[in-house]
Amino acid sequence: MYEKLAYALVPSGYKANKLYSFVGGDLTFTRTSTATRINKDGYIEFVPTGVPRLNYPLVNGVPSSTLELLLEPARINFQVYSEDFSNAAWSKIGSTIDTDPIIAPDGNLAYAMRETTATSEHRVSDAYASFDGSSSYTFSVFAKHNGARLLNLFSGTSSRFAANANFDLVNGVVYSSPTGTATIEKYPNGWYRCSVTGVSASSGSSTLVIRHKDESLNTSYAGDLNEATYLWGAQLEEGYLTSYIPTFDSTASRIEEGAISGTGNFNDYSGVLFAEIQSQNDIPDGNAYIALSDNSVSNMINIRYTTDGLLQIHNNGTSLSNRIYGEDYDLTQNLKIAVQYGTTTGDYKVFINGVEKTVFGTFSASAMSGLSTVDLTYPTHTLPFLGAIKQVLVFNEALTDSELEKLTT
């Protein structure tokens, strides 16, 4: 089967503004800012401007041996002093910042929020003044158990940012989420990334709170000097949770990424486009594409994640008449998608995760010519795929059903 390859991207080699392919021409990569990734040891590390992020995804807190290309939308971390909770930007009530350090998720040092004996809340907090009343936001922090079991992320004004979630740092689970959607992700060395996503119904300010709760979920109680939580890496971003963006005395940005113009000896009359991909969010910020084309929308096969969380596959356009296949999927799952194309409608086949799918009865094939380019975007180099890419392959001949099944399993 693999002797038929015309193009193979399996993330491994790179340099600035270049992503190497095993077969075919290398991709041109763009990102005009630094960013972060998870390295082979499980630590978060900086990646320079223009360098692709080959990420080691965490599986139950352990870095995988399989690399992925991480592509994300533009983001701003609005939370200043994201790692320095001792700074005056973070107000303290019933708490102090412990000076006994521990190794942080980036391999440097983190400190603990420790309760005082006061009968009060035990928290650090900061106000963000510019919530947009028509958006969703995500507030997150890395936390590690140091005596206190329950950690609460909370927005003081729910109309500005509807968020209230409780996390169990002993068992590594979301304890409850009264307001918003909460997640917890395990990192090495006992760390968890806790996050809550909620909507903003009105513009203005809200105080973002990181606090302890007692076993009865009280927020005000007599503190215990033995109760503390290690904290590091707070982030407030507009949209769903993305990779960490460090800040100091001002906000910091990550610019949207894209990879384009991989070339190969492609067959116009018969072939297979295959991608193993995973979105970070079930509803991307916008349409996201992987395309085999002649650098135009007139001759192309594309795999498309839509704004309403659908997986769609199109031939020569994006209209319903060009739609080979479409279905509502959990786009956050790992999907292995193979699209076989040819000169007649009967040549077209779609296999996803080992299962053959029914091609739309209304689909009518149109002949292609001049196929020359693989883009991790729309052929016009807009609407990049957002998420993790483990493989993109193009075969310059049709495959058997058993080969398509094996490829996607």
Residue pLDDT, tens place only, 174-194:
999 999 999 999 999 999 999
Residue carrying the six token digits 């005000």: 220
* pLDDT of amino acid 404: 98
Instruction: Tell how far CA 165 is from the center of its chain.
Output: 21
* pLDDT of amino acid 59: 95
Phi, psi of 280 (to 5 degrees): -80, -20
**Among the four given CATH numbers 1.10.10.10, 3.90.1150.10, 2.60.120.200, 1.10.530.10, the one describing domain 2-73+257-408:** 2.60.120.200
State the pLDDT confidence band at 360, using cuts at 50, 70 and 90: very high
Percentage above 90 pLDDT, the chain: 93
Is it the case that residue 170 has pLDDT exceeding 80?
yes
Is it the case that residue 389 has pLDDT exceeding 80?
yes
* pLDDT of amino acid 316: 85
* pLDDT of amino acid 282: 84
* pLDDT of amino acid 106: 98
**pLDDT: is 315 or 167 the higher one?**
167
106 phi-psi bin (left φ>0, alpha ψ -120 to 50, beta other): alpha
Q: What topology does CATH give the domain 77-253? A: Jelly Rolls (2.60.120)
Is it the case that residue 145 has pLDDT exceeding 90?
yes
Q: pLDDT (tens digit, 9 = 90+) per residue, 82-118? A: 999 999 999 999 999 998 899 999 999 999 999 999 9
Domain boundaries, the chain: 2-73+257-408, 77-253
User: How far apart are alpha carbons 105 and 193 in whole angstroms?
Assistant: 10
* pLDDT of amino acid 366: 83
Is it the case that residue 321 has pLDDT exceeding 80?
no
Is it the case that residue 320 has pLDDT exceeding 80?
no
Mean pLDDT, residues 199-208: 97
Is it the case that residue 346 has pLDDT exceeding 80?
yes
Mean pLDDT, residues 256-273: 96
Note whether 121 and 211 are within 8 A (CB): yes
Segment holding 408, helix H or strand E: helix 401-408
**DSSP structural state of residue 409:** -
Q: Can you give the pTM of this predicted structure? A: 0.95
Is it the case that residue 319 has pLDDT exceeding 90?
no
* pLDDT of amino acid 367: 82
User: How far apart are alpha carbons 76 and 279 in whole angstroms?
Assistant: 19
Note whether 104 and 110 are within 8 A (CB): yes
* pLDDT of amino acid 375: 98
**pLDDT: is 67 or 308 the higher one?**
67
Q: pLDDT (tens digit, 9 = 90+) per residue, 208-225? A: 999 999 999 999 999 999
What are the distances in angstroms from CA 97 to CA 128, 146, 194, 287?
21, 13, 19, 43
Average pLDDT, the chain: 96
Percentage above 70 pLDDT, the chain: 100
b vs e for 108-120, b when ≥16 Cβ sit within 10 Å of the residue's Cβ? eebbbbbbbeeeb
User: How far apart are alpha carbons 119 and 333 in whole angstroms?
Assistant: 45
Q: Which amino acid is at 357?
A: K
Q: pLDDT (tens digit, 9 = 90+) per residue, 280-295? A: 888 887 899 999 999 9
Tell me if domain 2-73+257-408 and domain 77-253 are identical in fold.
yes
Q: How many CB atoms lie within 10 A of CB 250?
A: 9
Q: Which are the contacts of 365, defined by CB distance < 8 A and separation ≥ 6?
A: 315, 341, 342, 343, 344, 345, 347, 348
Q: pLDDT (tens digit, 9 = 90+) per residue, 296-307? A: 998 999 999 998
User: How far apart are alpha carbons 163 and 178 in whole angstroms?
Assistant: 8
* pLDDT of amino acid 17: 97
* pLDDT of amino acid 54: 97
Q: pLDDT (tens digit, 9 = 90+) per residue, 124-144? A: 999 999 999 989 999 999 999
